[in-house]
A = this chain, B = another copy of it.
Amino acid sequence: MKKLNIGVVGYGFMGRTHSNAFRQAPRFFDLPYEPVLKTICARNAERAQAFASKWGYESYETDWRRLVDSKDIDVIDIASPNDTHAEVAIAAAQAGKMVMCEKPLGRNPAESEAMVKAVEDAGVANMVWYNYRRVPAVTLAKQLIDEGRLGRIFHYRTVFLQDWTISADLPQGGEGLWRLDASVSGSGVTGDLLAHNIDTAMWLNGQIGEVTAMTETFIKTRKHSLTGEETPVHIDDASLFLARFDNGSLATFEATRYARGHKALYTFEINGEKASIKWDLHDLHRLEYFDHRDEGKLRGWKDIHITDSDHPYMKNWWVPGLQIGYEHTFTHQVADFLAGLGAGTNASPTFREALKTDYVTDAVLRSAKSRQWETPKTV
């Protein structure tokens, strides 16, 4: 098995999920490449070293340019805050590295477009971590739709509900809190949460044609964790929009960090002429399926426990009835990326595919300001 040397930028939450995925994928999947955790990069040397030791990285760096310049690195994986994505990705691509990048691509369409151009000009393999596509239940949903089982689609509804920023005492910015600082994150829940909803939605149901949106910032000022000063909050705390897909179906999208009682409740439901599908992240190992072709008196929503060997990815794990968890979605993405590499195909979503999502989040933010229906730019 060929070795593939990985350099990871960022050691936060996503640094951990990615590191774990690189370690786990070859244990459970037969792959053409063995990823090697070569170098971790983060600004704080002490913590970078500890992280390297914990996860078995061969070395650590505090300047990402060292990874880009290194001949020992095949893949640059970007797991750092959003304001670093464009710069690192573009430099990595120009250095001929494959690039994997956390979502969203850039903080705005201009950054994202430059990133797409860079990887395509360089002709390097690239992928964005929209990990929820690789929840087995979500992949199964995709299969069912592609097999035509739902028929014509009428409705799509999806939410991403959290409640972790309700307290007015929570500061903005800094370690672990950069998602509340618009200059780093680009936007609030629109880029952080809705981007997931949109990526999945367009993967399952095609292009979104137009949107009308509203956003809100419930807490107007917060202390900044670095300066200690009370400053205006620029992110959107909540973002909601109505949409019409190109296939004629109607949709509601909503994301918020002010939905008391929900930690990470990402859900979607799709209603087709013949069948409907529901899924939620809080029980990610289940898929709800209603098939109108069932015998009348026995029609109902079927609760499918996605742990069988004929469910996507699941024959590689345990035995029926035994669920996997959140982290496995990243493992699947690594497995698919490496398999694609072996087959000479790009694992989805590529930077270009992810750009489509950024165009929709941009239209959402524009609509919230213009109070008009807006049309997302298309790729």
Contact = CB atoms under 8 A, between A and B. Distances in A.
Nearest to A249: B216
Contacts of A321: 162, 262-265, 281-282
Given A212-B214, A283-B283, A326 B322 contact: yes
A83 interface: no
Contacts of A55: 27
Interface stretch (A65-73, A92-100, A297-305, A339-347): A297-305
A249 to B, nearest CB: 9
Given A322-B325, A326-B318, A261 B242 contact: no
Nearest to A238: B250
A258 interface: yes
Nearest to A237: B154
A52 interface: no
B13 A318 contact: yes
Contacts of A323: 282-285, 323, 325-326
Interface stretch (A180-188, A222-230, A266-274, A355-363): A266-274
Nearest to A269: B259
Interface string A21-34: 00100110000000
A166 B290 CA distance: 15
A371 interface: yes
A9 interface: no
Given A157-B254, A262-B271, A284-B323, 6 more contacts: A23-B27, A256-B271, A260-B273, A281-B322, A318-B326, A323-B323
| Interface pairs A-B: 9 shortest CB-CB | A264-B321, A263-B321, A261-B290, A300-B304, A322-B326, A325-B325, A263-B320, A154-B258, A300-B302
Interface of A: 13, 16-17, 19-20, 23, 26-27, 54-55, 140, 154-155, 157, 159, 161-164, 166, 212-214, 216, 218, 238, 240-242, 244, 248, 250, 252, 254, 256, 258-265, 271-276, 281-285, 289-292, 294, 296-305, 307-308, 310-311, 317-328, 371-373
